Amino acid sequence: MEPRIQGLNTHLVHTGELEDPLYHGAVSPLYLSTSYAFDEVDIKRYPRNFNTPNQEALGHKIAALENKEAALIFGSGMAAVSTAIMGLVSSGDHIVFQDDLYGGTRNLALADLRRFGIEFSMAKGLEIKDFESEIRPNTKLIYVETPSNPLLKIIDLDMIGRLAKKHGIISMIDNTFASPVNQVPDEFGIDVVIHSATKYMGGHSDISAGAIATSNELIAPIWSMAKSLGGNLSEMTVWLLERSIKTMGLRVHRQNENALAMAHFLSAHHAIDRVYYPGLVEHPGHEIAKKQMKGFGGMMSFELRSGLDARFFQQQLKLIKPSMSLAGVESTVLSPTMTSHHSLTLEERKNQGISEGLIRFSVGIEEVSDLQRDIEQAIAKTENHG
Ligand SMILES: *Cc1c(COP(=O)(O)O)cnc(C)c1O
């Protein structure tokens, strides 16, 4: 494939755009047809075949961003995760997962993969030995997320890429938290890259979508599975997602800056006990993050000083909204113990280091001074509250 010769923002704006030969409009035309005449090369274009004009064009854009040959777009991040895994493993195969997985992916493993006779184990830590010791003769896939949710743990992608190659195993990453702006796993030999495009790619909290980017060789079985599972995204939303991705570089760069400023502010604050952000030198994954990320991202977590009521604190915020999702232009907070990690036992949460008072913070593009003022006033009220 062509080397990545253009800069990031040029790619974001121009790669995979459809021309409008009829009216020469500035943006890609939207083709809503679900029915297409067979063309000379006999491509059977159909939405669930993932090959309509808008799907193909957006696939080119996302593949280029991830430095991969091909990409498919889905109706959600979990459609991408489940299709990628089920397209590449069969009954009797084994998967090594990192231990702290996105909740939906964890459920997929525990509730469904087992049912289909797919074996898996969780690496006990973040080191190479933790992954290597779980590899069995039938291991087909190593699956990681870095930075992870919600503690922003960092896994060395170069280490995972080498380990997978050494054992002839496919490596897969959920790259949602970093976004392709901050991390291109292909640079470290990772084979398959997955995104919940609901997050940074969409970026405005108004699109549900997912994506898989990989080689032509690996996309073939995934594509075949995709056509059977039928998790394609509607054409209208494909078009909207393409529009959103054009500004992803601007948004994510600003979110990186804001998050770093907020992490320093929170670390220095008397009412905050801990801040988990890979951009802080005291974060255990900082050195690796510096090596493999172009920016540290817009996600962090923090703990209020013990004794302060985390739920009350979140209710006092005026600008920053408690919200289930993340990565929008607006800042949001969430309690993992009440939402994404609610289904885990207390013991499991403790093992993962998720305390009751932990607050996950998705930093938006607002003015840092306004975000700081909002947190200050909420802390003051929380300190006066019992
Ligand atoms: C949100 C998310 C998903 C799932 O994406 P949906 O679009 O909600 O299906 C997967 N992985 C990570 C890291 C996420 O944040």
Pocket test for ligand 1, best of 144, 152, 176 (most atoms within 8 A of CB): 176
pLDDT at 40: 64
Phi–psi pair at 106, nearest 5 degrees: -60, -45
Ordered by start, the domain boundaries in the chain are 8-245, 249-383
Ligand 1 atom at shortest distance from the alpha carbon of 327 = 15
Phi–psi pair at 353, nearest 5 degrees: 85, 20
Ligand 1 atom at shortest distance from the alpha carbon of 176 = 13
Pocket test for ligand 1, best of 183, 196, 362 (most atoms within 8 A of CB): 196
Q: Do 100 and 146 contact (CB within 8 A), yes or no?
A: no
Q: Is 177 in the pocket of ligand 1 (CB under 6 A)?
A: yes
Q: Is 102 in the pocket of ligand 1 (CB under 6 A)?
A: yes
User: What gap in Å lies between CA 44 and CA 35, rounded to an integer?
Assistant: 9
Global pTM reads 0.95
Q: Is 183 in the pocket of ligand 1 (CB under 6 A)?
A: no
User: What gap in Å lies between CA 361 and CA 363, rounded to an integer?
Assistant: 6
pLDDT at 100: 85
pLDDT at 347: 81
Q: Is 149 in the pocket of ligand 1 (CB under 6 A)?
A: yes
Residue 345 buriedness (CB in 10 A; 0-12 / 13-18 / 19+): exposed
pLDDT at 380: 96
Ligand 1 atom at shortest distance from the alpha carbon of 145 = 13
**pLDDT of the chain along its 386 residues, tens only?**
444 557 899 999 999 999 999 999 999 999 999 998 877 667 789 999 999 999 999 999 999 999 999 999 999 999 999 999 999 999 999 999 999 899 899 999 999 999 999 999 999 999 999 999 999 999 999 999 999 998 999 999 999 999 999 999 999 999 999 999 999 999 999 999 999 999 999 999 999 999 999 999 999 999 999 999 999 999 999 999 999 999 999 999 999 999 999 999 999 999 999 999 999 999 999 999 999 999 999 999 999 998 899 999 999 999 999 998 899 999 999 988 777 777 778 787 777 777 878 999 999 999 999 999 999 999 999 999 86
Question: What is residue 267's three-state secondary structure?
Answer: helix
Q: What is the CA radius of gyration of the chain?
A: 21
Q: Is 210 in the pocket of ligand 1 (CB under 6 A)?
A: yes
pLDDT at 41: 65
pLDDT at 245: 98
Reported as type and span, the H/E element at residue 312 is: helix 310-316
Strand partners, 139: 94
pLDDT at 1: 44
Give, in words, the CATH class of 249-383: alpha beta
CA dihedral (178, 179, 180, 183) in degrees, to 10, reads: 0
Fold of 8-245: Aspartate Aminotransferase; domain 2 (3.40.640)
Ligand 1 atom at shortest distance from the alpha carbon of 210 = 7
Question: What is residue 198's three-state secondary structure?
Answer: coil
* Cα distance from N-terminal residue to C-terminal residue, the chain: 62
- Sign of the CA dihedral 49, 55, 61, 65? negative
User: What gap in Å lies between CA 252 and CA 259, rounded to an integer?
Assistant: 10
Distance 47 CA to ligand 1 centre (A): 22
Q: At what angle do helices 216-229 and 77-88 cross, to 10 degrees?
A: 110
